[in-house]
Amino acid sequence: SKDDQFDLDALKKEAREWPGLEGMDLVPMVTSAQRFTWDETPWVWNEGFGQQTKPEFNVVAIDYGIKRNILRLLAGVGCKVTVVPATTSAEDIMAMKPDGVFLSNGPGDPAATGKYAVPVIQQVIASGTPTFGICLGHQMLGLAVGAKTKKMHQGHHGANHPVKDETTGKVEITSMNHGFAVDQDTLPAGATQTHISLFDGSNCGIALEGKPVFSVQYHPEASPGPRDSHYLFQRFAELMRENKRSAA
């Protein structure tokens, strides 16, 4: 206001009336309006950003609110990346003949966005295409295989979150930014918990048995370790490489 006084009653009313994040599909506010390709690779000391000129893989990234450094790291492991809007159909995605599909991070309630995203993810998984999800993409992958997501009492935000990779026994220091989580008690047979938070034991990763599909809750591109989690991009590339080899 003009006299620098806050109207506390009006502000309290506004806060009370905020409906909260549950049931909120916020992805339409942040997804790209049209598809685009990406070939910029990660920053290197004294060189700056590079360019992927000889890609080994054709990857479709579904944009629920994607971060540029994820795209750089995908390009860095040999991917030509085509980013598509969040509502792109599975038919349109598969028509691009991807070697892999990436499910991006993003805001809001995974169950709300999942109303249109989950059927697409289910079709991608059923096609046998290698799939890698991060954050919101991880949560919706969980929903796609039959698990449930829940609003956390205390979300995880910021750097220096210790996460244990149960497949290797290693602990990595990660960045997180999420208020919802996959409820590990609801994971069906065939979906294995691969990562857990060492702060509260919450789920931080899943993989599907016998399928080239995995995801993590945290942000492996967001350098708190600073490179503790970059192996996940290599893991995705290796799944695509194996899949191409067996197809050939």
Coil, strand or helix at 85: strand
The catalytic residue among 138, 161, 195, 219 is 219
Query: How many Cα atoms are found within 13 Å in the side-chain-facing hemisphere of 79?
Result: 32
Angle (deg, nearest 10), helices 136-144 and 110-126: 60
Buried b (16+ CB within 10 A) or exposed e, 2-25: eeeeeeeeeeeeeeeeeeeeeeeb
Instruction: Give the Cα separation of 16 and 55 in Å (integer).
Output: 51
Residues 78 and 52 sit within 8 Å (Cβ to Cβ):
yes
The beta strands (E) that lie in 135-219 are given as 149-165, 171-182, 191-197, 203-208, 213-216
The catalytic residue among 138, 172, 178, 221 is 221
What contacts 168, CB < 8 A, 6 or more positions away? none
- Known catalytic membership, residue 135: yes
- Known catalytic membership, residue 219: yes
The catalytic residue among 79, 135, 178, 195 is 135
Instruction: Give the Cα separation of 191 and 186 in Å (integer).
Output: 10
Long-range interactions of 198-204: CB distance < 8 A, separation 24+: 198/162, 198/163, 198/164, 198/171, 199/156, 199/161, 199/162, 200/154, 202/152, 202/156, 203/142, 204/163, 204/174
- Known catalytic membership, residue 204: no
Which residues are annotated as catalytic? 135, 219, 221
